[in-house]
């Protein structure tokens, strides 16, 4: 277990402890904090400890333990922070959803916490499955084009389903019986897989075969193909599914991964320029997108006979929270109404835990994304690096898009806050995403053995 | 690939940083503006999440808070004897805001007054529910009831003051409304509100006692008499004046100032007789002689042209025009032309005369108390102005007693009590086309030292036009209110 003979350049201190015990002790807190939050919410709302507290605590603890054991067994050298952070966010999300379930003022209010707990369980199951079945993340490379195709299909499907009034404009759901699935969420994993596989092959051509113009390396016309295709696709999503968030997210992931693969800043400039032009054009013509932009610029204007819109209500909720919040269960964030538990759940966090709670949650997200990027740095294979960057950036971008929308920093787009917001597709996707990142980090942090699994070319 | 990955890491950190800055902006810098936004329902939800304090009349609360546990609001305001006390309490509605005492005294009633801070902080620490403080009014329920009963079936207002302190003893406006009906947030409240606002003929939500001005008519002659006596135009109230049978308004082409009561006895009548008979000729001529500037000065000493008076509810200013010619001054001096007064204003005139010329500031709230009954503020009576000299006041008192003993105020006579009064019948509409306003202003002093000054105006009634006069419509109401207070 000595590092001296390793030919591989990595930033991982060789022979370092694998930190599994650190993970376990952090997980204790990650379970304890939501359970205490649950107790406090119950005390504030009903004056007694919630009846389901024991079950909830045991369930959450069992999920966490299961995930931890899976990591211990299948990815013993994985990053120790990601799982506890994900568990903490998931647990807190359950508390806030349960709190909103209790708001009798919210109409219509279907209890969602139990469902969400079920989905969390499924998410953990998927997490364990990925841990056990995905021996090596490089296996995913084989499915590059399959992933791409699957992503395309999943993205296109909702546009062919009938429009529903309950979807409020954006067509991003598939309704099957009583279930509704948001396929765009799964694409968040499939697309980085596709991009990683594709860019690994193409990156040299994209990086080197370019002309210099005004100090910038401009890509050759025929290399523009892929970026044009993705650009067009993201605009199609915007036009046909009126889903600004997904559109920005996918294009963002692609530009970030392209930049990392080619190390060419010109791609970023080119991408941002194209995105800007495209969105500007769509915003001018598409009523739904234009409405969103109007709401963003004037969140406090009132409709005829009604109060302010949802963004206005979310801002009211955040403002009411102030520095330290009203206390769990003591806010009025149900005034946000529809989507208070999903897209707008940050409003409840902001009102009941204040800017302190919002900052803590944002830092947790930031930490999770940065651990993912740290994994990308440490990864020894280009596919793993690209995939880790893609998944982490997707995560960070999604947080920015939804939190920025709710706080009024950018136009609102229908997206869920990872792990916290109500939404089954979102929860299981994010657990799978963390599982893949953990698998990559396991390989990256694995003490260099005498012989590598296969010779690698690491730049 | 590590260099771009590091840059992407920095970029992701910047995204999170941007979000944190934005959160601080919204929750810190913007928070107070967002909380104060009129469309933020949290303000109202909070305001109705605990019982408001009470408005107290005669030791009993006339407001209460119903625990309704509604969808948005936990409590709802309700009123005891709502229509009778509406001109005092106003309303506190979950949809339509608030007015009068409910509005002006909201800091105390809601418990948000800074003076209650210590108590609130203590309640927070001990986990006690927040409570509003109480507002104790000066209203005497018996006086209020007498005025209310008297105005039934009519349209008008009545105000009673304690001349020596300025305490408002009665404040009646009729027709009225029950503020309980518009307190909630439901369809019924909406319907009630629309009906109240839509009733343009009865205007039930108009506070006629404080917020409506009327031409005071002959009751304004009290002010003119004070000016004439102060100014030396009259030295002896029983000496005959030099007044023609038909008084032509100065500067006009033969426009006479008619006497409402006919011409009998007004020629060269003394001031005393002129007041008893309510001679327009005598007072019109006196007003013109005194002059517009001096009359304006006198009216203002009695409280006219003051639009900033609060009791603490805001009172609409009464008007006496500035810079008038002689003809207009003559008309204004008998309470016509542009002269307009609130019922409270005319009660202040009577009170100043009864209180030897000293006009006390009228007030409605004697005490503000915290929820545990400790006194936060106590009103101490203060003089608003010296309306006239004690000597002049005494002479006018004599004349007003004469009005009740031998003149138009005979219907207000109370055995064993000294009562002074003045009737008024003010023109209404172009060429007096509408029913005139019937006025009566008066004061009473009991042997036990109790005093009360009253002003009553009746806008309109079923009585045939010829019968309308202060004597028959307004004076009996004033008498009932005075009796309710001093007995006898």
End-to-end CA distance of chain B: 105
Contact B72 A376 (CB under 8 A): no
Note whether A308 contacts B39, CB cutoff 8 Å.
Answer: yes
Distances (CA, A) of A87 to A65, A419, A438, B136, B175: 10, 8, 14, 58, 66
CA–CA separation, B214 and A276 (whole Å): 68
Distance of CA A415 to the CA centre of its chain: 9
DSSP B348-377: HHHHHHHTTTEEEPPBSEEEEE-TT--EEE
pTM above 0.90, yes or no: no
Rounded to a whole number of angstroms, the CA Rg of chain B reads 28
Q: How far apart are the CA of B95 and the nearest CA of chain A, in angstroms? A: 12
Is pLDDT of B472 > 80? Answer: no
How many whole angstroms separate alpha carbon B27 and alpha carbon A347? 11
On the question of pLDDT at B38 being above 90, the answer is: no
Contact at CB, B27 and A358, closer than 8 angstroms: yes
pLDDT tens-digit map of B367-418: 999 888 888 889 999 999 998 999 999 999 999 998 888 877 788 888 888 8
Chain mean pLDDT for chain B: 87
Q: Number of A:B CB contacts under 8 A?
A: 137
pLDDT tens-digit series, residues B475-486: 889 999 999 998
Please tell me if residue B124 touches chain A, with a CB cutoff of 8 Å.
no
H or E stretch including B383?
strand B383-386
- Which one-letter DSSP state was computed for residue B129? P
Which residue in B222, B190, B180 sits closest to B82, CA to CA? B180
Please choose, from the candidates B153, B172, B183, B175, the residue with its C-alpha nearest in 3D space to the C-alpha of residue B91.
B183
Q: Is the pLDDT of residue B73 over 90?
A: no
**Helix, strand, coil percentages for chain B (3-state, nearest 5):** 40, 20, 40
* Longest Cα separation, chain B: 116
CA distance A433 to chain B (A): 17
By residue count, chain A amounts to 459
- pLDDT attached to residue A61: 93
- At residue A386, φ and ψ (nearest 5 deg) are -60, -45
**Per-residue CA distances from A97 to A68, A112, A298 (Å):** 25, 7, 28
Q: What are phi and psi of A301, to 5 degrees?
A: -75, 150
- Mean pLDDT of all residues in B298-315: 91
Q: What is the mean pLDDT of chain A?
A: 83
Tell me: the pLDDT tens digits for A145-179?
Answer: 898 888 888 887 877 776 655 555 555 666 665 56
Do B22 and A261 make contact, defined as CB atoms within 8 angstroms? no
Separation in Å, CA of B7 to nearest CA in chain A:
9
- Which residue from A minimizes the CA distance to B71? A105
Q: Return d(Cα B244, Cα A391) in angstroms, integer.
A: 106
Closest to A100 (Cα-Cα) out of A351, A399, A424, A402:
A351
- In angstroms, the CA B433 to CA B200 distance is 19
Mutation site for B-interface testing, chosen from A258, A259, A319 by largest number of B Cβ within 10 Å: A319
Mutant choice from A316, A379, A444 vs B, greatest count of B C-beta within 10 A: A316
What's the rounded Cα separation, in Å, for the pair A397 and B472? 83
β-partners of residue B214 are B341
Residue B32 appears among annotated catalytic residues? no
The pLDDT score that the predictor gives to residue A158 is: 75
| Domain residue ranges of chain B, discontinuous segments joined by + | 211-370+380-486
Q: What architecture is domain B211-370+380-486?
A: 3-Layer(aba) Sandwich (3.40)
Cite the DSSP H helix spans in B31-81. Answer: 31-36, 42-47
Q: Determine the distance from the C-alpha atom of residue B365 to the mean position of all C-alpha atoms in its chain, rounded to a whole number.
A: 13
- Point out the least confidently predicted range of A111-125, A174-188, B71-85, B205-219: A174-188
**Mean predicted confidence (pLDDT) in B290-298:** 89
From the CA of B156, how many Å to the nearest CA of chain A? 36
Check residue B29 and give its pLDDT.
92
Q: What was the pLDDT predicted at A3?
A: 44
Of A392-401, A433-442, B192-201, B262-271, the least confident: B262-271
Closest CA to B5 of A364, A261, A444: A261
Could you report the average pLDDT of every consecutive run of 10 residues in chain A (459 residues)? 48 63 93 93 88 86 94 92 95 93 78 87 94 89 88 80 57 62 83 90 74 66 72 76 78 89 83 84 78 84 73 91 90 83 90 95 96 93 93 94 92 86 90 95 79 47
Catalytic residue among B92, B93, B110, B218: B218
Average pLDDT over residues B81-109: 91
Q: Which residue of A has its CA nearest to B31?
A: A319
Burial A78-110 (b: 16+ CB within 10 A, else e): bbbbbbbbbbbbbbbbbbbbbbbbbbeebeebe
pLDDT at B268: 84
């Amino acid at each position: 277990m000595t590092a001296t003979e390793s030919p591989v350049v990595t930033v991982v201190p060789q022979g370092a402890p694998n930190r599994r015990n650190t993970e376990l002790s952090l997980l204790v807190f990650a379970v304890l904090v939501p359970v205490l939050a649950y107790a406090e919410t119950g005390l504030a709302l009903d004056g007694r400890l919630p009846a389901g507290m024991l079950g909830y605590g045991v369930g959450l603890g069992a999920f966490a333990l299961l995930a931890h054991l899976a990591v211990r067994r299948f990815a013993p050298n994985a990053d120790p922070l990601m799982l506890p952070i994900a568990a903490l966010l998931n647990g807190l999300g359950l508390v806030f959803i349960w709190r909103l379930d209790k708001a009798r003022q919210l109409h219509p209010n279907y209890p969602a916490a139990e469902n969400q707990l079920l989905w969390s369980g499924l998410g953990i199951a998927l997490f364990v499955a990925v841990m056990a079945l995905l021996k090596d993340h490089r296996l995913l490379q084989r499915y590059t084009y399959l992933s791409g195709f699957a992503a395309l299909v999943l993205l296109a499907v909702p546009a062919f389903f009938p429009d529903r009034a309950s979807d409020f404009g954006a067509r991003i759901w598939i309704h099957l019986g009583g279930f509704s699935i948001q396929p765009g969420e799964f694409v968040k994993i499939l697309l980085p897989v596709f991009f990683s596989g594709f860019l690994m092959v193409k990156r040299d051509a994209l990086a080197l075969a370019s002309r210099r113009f005004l100090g910038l390396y401009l890509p050759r016309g025929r290399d523009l193909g892929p970026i044009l295709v993705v650009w067009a696709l993201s605009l199609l999503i915007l036009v046909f599914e009126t889903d600004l968030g997904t559109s920005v997210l996918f294009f963002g992931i692609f530009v970030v991964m392209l930049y990392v693969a080619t190390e060419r800043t010109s791609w970023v400039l080119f991408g941002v320029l194209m995105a800007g032009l495209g969105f500007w054009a769509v915003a001018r013509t598409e009523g739904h997108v234009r409405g969103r932009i109007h709401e963003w610029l004037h969140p406090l204007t009132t409709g005829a006979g009604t109060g302010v819109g949802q963004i206005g209500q979310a801002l009211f909720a955040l403002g009411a929270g102030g520095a330290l919040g009203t206390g769990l269960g003591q806010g009025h964030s149900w005034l946000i109404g529809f989507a208070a538990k999903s897209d707008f759940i940050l409003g409840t966090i902001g009102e009941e835990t204040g800017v302190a709670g919002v900052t803590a949650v944002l830092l947790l997200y930031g930490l999770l994304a940065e651990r993912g990027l740290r994994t990308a740095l440490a990864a020894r294979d280009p596919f793993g690096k690209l995939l880790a960057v893609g998944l982490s950036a997707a995560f960070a971008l999604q947080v920015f898009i939804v939190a920025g929308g709710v706080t009024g920093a950018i136009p609102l787009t229908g997206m869920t806050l990872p792990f916290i917001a109500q939404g089954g597709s979102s929860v299981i996707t994010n657990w799978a995403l963390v599982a893949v990142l953990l698998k990559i980090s396991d390989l990256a942090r694995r003490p260099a053995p005498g012989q590598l699994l296969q010779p690698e070319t690491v730049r | 690939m590590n260099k771009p990955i590091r840059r992407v890491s920095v970029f992701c950190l910047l995204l999170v940083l941007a979000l944190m800055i934005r959160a601080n902006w919204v929750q810190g810098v913007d928070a107070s503006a967002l909380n104060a936004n009129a469309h933020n329902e949290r303000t109202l939800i909070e305001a109705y999440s605990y019982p408001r304090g009470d408005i107290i009349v005669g030791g009993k609360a006339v407001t209460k808070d119903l625990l309704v546990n509604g969808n948005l609001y936990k409590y709802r305001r309700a009123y005891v004897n709502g229509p009778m006390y509406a001109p005092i309490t106003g309303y506190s509605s979950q949809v339509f805001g608030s007015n009068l005492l409910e509005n002006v005294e909201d800091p105390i009633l809601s418990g948000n007054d800074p003076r209650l801070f210590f108590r609130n902080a203590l309640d927070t620490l001990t986990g006690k529910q927040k409570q509003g403080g109480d507002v104790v009014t000066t209203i005497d329920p018996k006086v209020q009831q007498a005025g209310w009963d008297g105005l039934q079936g009519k349209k008008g207002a009545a105000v009673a003051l304690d001349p020596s302190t300025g305490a408002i003893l009665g404040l009646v406006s009729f027709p009225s409304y029950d503020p309980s009906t518009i307190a909630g947030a439901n369809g019924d409240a909406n319907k009630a509100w629309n009906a109240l606002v839509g009733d343009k003929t009865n205007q039930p939500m108009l506070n006629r006692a404080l917020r409506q001005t009327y031409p005071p008519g002959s009751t304004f002659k009290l002010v003119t008499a004070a000016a004439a006596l102060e100014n030396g135009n009259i030295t002896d109230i029983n000496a005959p004046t030099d007044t023609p049978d038909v008084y032509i308004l100065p500067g006009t082409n033969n426009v006479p100032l008619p006497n409402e009561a006919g011409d009998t006895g007004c020629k060269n009548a003394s001031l005393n007789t002129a007041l008893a008979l309510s001679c327009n000729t005598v007072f019109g001529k006196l007003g013109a002689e005194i002059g517009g500037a001096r009359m304006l000065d006198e009216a203002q000493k009695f409280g006219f042209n003051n639009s900033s008076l609060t009791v603490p509810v805001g009172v609409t200013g009464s008007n006496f025009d500035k810079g008038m010619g002689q003809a207009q001054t003559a008309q204004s001096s008998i309470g016509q032309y542009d002269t307009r007064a609130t019922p409270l204003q005319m009660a202040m005139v009577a009170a100043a005369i009864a209180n030897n010329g000293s006009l006390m500031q009228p007030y409605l709230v004697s005490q503000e108390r915290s929820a545990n009954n400790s006194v936060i503020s106590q009103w101490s009576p203060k003089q608003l102005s010296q309306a006239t000299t004690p000597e002049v006041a005494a002479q006018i008192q004599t004349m007003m007693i004469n009005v009740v003993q031998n003149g138009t105020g005979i219907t207000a006579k109370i055995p064993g009590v000294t009562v002074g009064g003045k009737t008024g019948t003010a023109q209404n509409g172009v060429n007096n086309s509408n029913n005139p306003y019937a006025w009566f202003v008066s004061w009473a002093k009991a042997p036990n030292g109790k005093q009360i000054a009253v002003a009553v105006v009746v806008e309109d009634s079923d009585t045939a036009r010829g019968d309308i006069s202060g004597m028959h419509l307004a004076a009996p109401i004033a008498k009932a209110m005075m009796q309710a207070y001093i007995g006898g």
